[in-house]
Structure 1
Amino acid sequence: MTALALKKISKSFDKTQVLKDIDIEVNEGEFVVFVGPSGCGKSTLLRVVAGLEDASAGEVWIGDQCVNPIPPSKRGIAMVFQSYALYPHLNVSKNMSLALKQEGIPKDEIAERVAEASRMLKLDGYLERYPSELSGGQRQRVAIGRAIVRKPKLFLLDEPLSNLDAALRMNTRVELANLHKQLKATMIYVTHDQTEAMTLADKIVVLRDGQVEQIGSPMELYNNPVNQFVAGFLGSPAMNFLPADIIGKDASLSVGIRPEDLFLADDGPLLADVTHVEHLGGDTNLIATVGEYNMTVRLFGQHDIEPDQQVKLGFDAAKALYFSADGLRASS
């Protein structure tokens, strides 16, 4: 069943068009991530779904209902923002239950919902604490709990991990993935971080300049990007791009090679000058130049290679991708 359908959604602010004829379908229970660079329109699109912005054209359907004329509070959605937006004078329990009280939910049911959400989020021992007594990760869990207790049709999450440090972001990412499995809920998640998109999503929507570039599962987009933008955006380290004539192909093409598909080879076709080495323990990243072009090589394990060293590189030709001059995927 379709949980959300966006039909020809456009949005303009004065003369600036920020969303352009967007069509997206989200199935019930899916975790869908809107991803793209800053300014691509992903947060605006989420706000249109929520009703915090009106679409200039097109329709938003939640379930079997067009919700364009329906205010945010009546759409059956719950939002989690980058800022926790907790009430400092209310403890955790009251922060989580406030919206339910305002809806007139019976006290017994409120207590049951708060208890269930706090158990899922490991907040049982913090219900009497105030936001100032919590860590950043705990505050974000409270904000998520406040959404859970409402039992919405859609969870909308707008860069909810951006304020957390790297280690906490990874832990909270895992918690969100597990929470999605437990709730079996439909979640729409906005981020500019492609690692979050790849690790969380059932389906990724890649946006650029207010338009959808590609929709698919993480590995579909990683292995079969429709254009050079998607290929370069997904993957860390990012894909390398070289003119195809360097490897004896049509000079009108560029070739994309992922860092992990390159390897050291005495008879390799690419002569690279190493400019920097990242020793990561389990992996070694080489930052190098091939002619005037920069490249990243991801090698498994530890390697005794230093800057200013020359190395020869081979690559897995079967995994190389080719792009025409307009950036679209091309055959080799």
Structure 2
Amino acid sequence: MGSLQLSSIRKSFGTHEVLKGIDLEVKDGEFVIFVGPSGCGKSTLLRVIAGLEDATSGSVRIDGAEVVNTPPAKRGIAMVFQSYALYPHLTVKDNMGLGLKQAGEGKAVIEERVAKASTMLSLDPYLARRPAELSGGQRQRVAIGRAIVREPKLFLFDEPLSNLDAALRVQTRLEIAALHRRLKATMIYVTHDQVEAMTLADKIVVLSAGAIEQIGSPMELYNRPANLFVAGFIGSPQMNFIEAGRLNETNASTIGIRPEHITLSREAGTWKGRVEHVEHLGADTIVYLETDVTGLLTVRLFGEHPYAADDIVYATPDAASMHRFDAEGRAIRA
């Protein structure tokens, strides 16, 4: 079991309140990701769960047991950091088993758990190597293996892919997803990268300025953002926002339309505009155009399209995919 309940979690550093009353429930076996811009409080919240930071007030319950006053080593959690934090003088095998050795586990148990984790993470050929002899991706797998052997109630990941290059990030992301399916473990993962959040999470928690903006599945957040912040944060390229008055809308303050929900034509359409810039990405073409009605508009087209700067084009939004927000930035539901 690995459920988690957070109730009214607040954390202040001096007079600065970093977490402003966080309430959250994580079910056993869920993969939950905290996402948000730098400084939103996501890593601080993870550290409060781990016991590495004391909450100023509030309750942290793991499997129903209050752990606010329980030291990190007794909480049944294992944490994987952005930095691998491996001991350079120890082999891969010894790095993975060190925590168990320090906890007083017998040699046979350590051998069995390290062997199991090593096979799961394809580390068998590297067990006798030291960290300096490994690639960044291999070192991160060792750090993950060190967490697995502890058989924790909760796995906590703090931006574990940030130090990897783009190709390794994709590969390691796939490995973490496969690991979650095999272990059926509860995982809580912090990232600023919405692609990681959208591709890995069962449930995403979007944070801003120490507060939760919305909780939901990746597609719930994409299709039904609760407010302007979530609408602008989830999705790449970012959602277009247009002053509702420009579109003669009277029941909203802001209209949102995602770049992929707009089509372009050279002949006719809703908004006439001039192309400012085009990004040819192969699989996608991103067109930036200026129209009198919307201002700067971003359009995402599937595949390659021969648009160029200064072309005159017509943009047409999918009316069913438009989002409406009130003066306070809250979504208006139909």
Q: Place the TM-score, normalised by the shorter chain, in its bin.
A: over 0.9
With normalisation by structure 2, the TM-score equals 0.97
Matched letter for residue 269 of structure 2:
G
- Superposed displacement of residue 302, structure 1: 1.1
Contact 2:2 2:185 in 1 (8 A): no
CA distance in 1, matches of 2:236, 2:37: 15
1:286 corresponds to: 287
CA RMSD of aligned residues (A): 1.3
CA distance in 1, matches of 2:253, 2:5: 37
2:304 corresponds to: 302
2:72 corresponds to: 72
Find out whether 1:185 has 2:175 as its counterpart. Answer: no
Contact 2:6 2:59 in 1 (8 A): yes
With normalisation by structure 1, the TM-score equals 0.97
1:257 corresponds to: 257
1:130 corresponds to: 130
Contact 2:2 2:29 in 1 (8 A): no
Contact 2:2 2:154 in 1 (8 A): no
Query: Unaligned stretches of 5+ in structure 1?
Result: none
2:105 corresponds to: 105
Contact 1:35 1:194 in 2 (8 A): yes
Contact 1:2 1:25 in 2 (8 A): no
**3-state SS of paired residue (1:129):** coil
Q: What is the total number of aligned residue pairs between the two structures?
A: 332
1:201 corresponds to: 201
Matched letter for residue 130 of structure 2:
Y
2:168 corresponds to: 168
Find out whether 1:325 has 2:327 as its counterpart. Answer: yes
Query: Unaligned stretches of 5+ in structure 2?
Result: none
1:250-284 Cα shifts (integer Å, max 9, x gaps): 28521110011000143321122211111111211
Find out whether 1:220 has 2:216 as its counterpart. Answer: no
CA distance in 2, matches of 1:252, 1:182: 46
* Further displaced range: 101-110 or 30-39: 101-110
CA distance in 2, matches of 1:246, 1:316: 17
Contact 1:36 1:208 in 2 (8 A): yes
CA distance in 2, matches of 1:147, 1:289: 51
Query: 4+ residue stretches of structure 1 with deviation over 4 A?
Result: none
1:10-69 Cα shifts (integer Å, max 9, x gaps): 000000000011100000000000000000000000000000111111000000200011
